[in-house]
Structure 1
C-alpha cells in the first residue's frame, strides 16, 4: 500500500544529510501532514506561540526550533481523533538538555472540561536524554488502556535529524526510530475524541523540548515501516 503524499527518509553517515523523496500522491487512508515551516499556521490550524520558537534550517527547508525552557506551540486540533488504528510520525532533531522532554502531545477534550494536560486520553512523543544521547519514549492513554514504549538501552546521538513513528494496528502498539522497531505491546486501544496538540512541551507546560521539529504526519491506519521510513 502506498501513502498519500508519501515521504521516504534515507539515513546516511554522520556527515551526510537525510534525503526527502515525494512521490506522486495516491489515494489511501485519511492522512494529515503538519509542516513546521512557519510560526503562523500549522496544517491549516492557527499556531499559538509561547516563549520564542524560531525558524531554523533543516535538510528539507525551514523547521521550528525550541529552547528547552519556555518555547511551545499550541494547536486546537487532535489529528488522530476518531482513528481506530493509526500511525503518528514526526521528523525532529533532539539537541540534548534535560533528561525528560515531552515534545509532542495530542490530547482529547473531556467532559466535564479539565485543565490542559490533566485529562485521561492522550498520545505522546517523549525523549530521555543521557549526556549526548537520547532514547525514545512513546505513550498512549485512554479509557481501559495506558501503555509506555521505552527501551533505555537503544540510544541515539543528539543533534541529528530522525524520523520517529508510533502505530496501532488493532491489536499491537509499536514505536520506531528511523524505521527500526524499538518496542511493542498488545493494548485494547479505543479511538480518541477531538481535542488539541502541543509541540515543544507537554500540554500542561512541563518537560520542555530542546531541539527542532520539521514535520508530523497522522494517518488513520497502521503503516508498515517500509511505508514511512528507510534508514
Structure 2
C-alpha cells in the first residue's frame, strides 16, 4: 500500500473537505510519500500483519525526512501504526523538528512521540513544545504488552492536547500560547539529534491539520 495522494486522503474525511492531510507509508526505503528519505544504519522492510513496515533495531537505525508535515497548523492530529519490541527504557520513534526561530534556543520547537519500556510492556509519551508553550502527556500506569501492533494518536484542537492508544484516551491537558510551528524536518526511529533509538516497527503515519475524534481515526489496526 503506497501513500495516498492528497485528494484521495481528503476523500476519507467526510465533511472535512478543507482539511490538509499527509500520509506516509513506511513500506519501502526509497520514497515515503513524496519524499526521498535519508537512511541511517540498516533498517529493513518486512511483511507484517498490517502490511509492509520498516523495522528499527534500537541501536543505530533511523529514517530522516525533509519536511515538518504539520508546519503552519493551528490544530492537528498525528496518527501512527507502530509495534514496540522492547529494549531501552526511553525511545523516541517520531520527532517533528521545526527550524529554529529567531531568538529561540536551537532545537526547541518540536512535536514528538516516545515510548517508555518497562519489562515486557511499554507506555506512551507525547510532547509538544514551542515559544510560550510546553506540554507532556504521559501515564506510567497505562502499560501495553510489547510485540503487538498499536494505533497511537495525539490531537490538539486549539485548546486541549490529547493522546490515545487504540482509540482510548490516555491523557489530556489544556495548552495556552500555542502558535503554529514552522517548516522543518522529521526523524523516524530516533530523536532528531541521533539518540534514544527505537526498537520496533512503524507501518504508517497520518498527519491532519484538524483535531480528529477517535471515530475519525482512519489507520487500520491489527487483529489480536
> Do both share a fold (TM > 0.5)?
yes
- Check the 8 A contact 2:11/2:17 in 1, yes or no: no
Give distance in 1, aligned partners of 2:94 and 2:15. 26
Q: Which residue of 1 aligns with 2:84?
A: 94
Change (3 A) 1:35 1:25: farther
| Equivalent residue number for residue 223 of structure 1 | 212
- Aligned CA distance change for structure 1 residues 42 and 113 (closer, same or farther; 3 Å): farther
> What is the alpha-carbon root mean square deviation over aligned residues?
2.2
Question: What is the alpha-carbon distance in structure 2 between the residues aligned to residue 67 and residue 28 of structure 1?
Answer: 39
CA distance in 2 between partners of 1:91 and 1:28 (Å) = 25
Q: How many aligned positions are there?
A: 211
**Partner Cα separation in structure 1 for residue 165 and residue 116 of structure 2:** 14
Which consecutive residues of structure 1, in runs of 5 or more, have no partner in the other structure? 7-22
Deviation per residue, 1:99-132 (Å, 9 max, x gap)? 00001000111146999xx411000000000000
| 1:150 maps to 2:138 | yes
Give the counterpart of 2:109 among 121, 137, 142: 121
Please say which of residues 78-87 and 37-46 is displaced more in the overlay.
37-46
Structure 1 residues 61-118: Cα deviation after superposition (integer angstroms, max 9, x where no partner): 2100000000000111000000000001110000000000001000111146999xx4
| Long gaps (5+) in structure 2 | 1-8
Under a length normalisation based on structure 1, what TM-score does the superposition of the two structures give? 0.86
Q: Does 1:4 align with 2:10?
A: yes
TM-score computed with the length of structure 2 as normaliser: 0.88
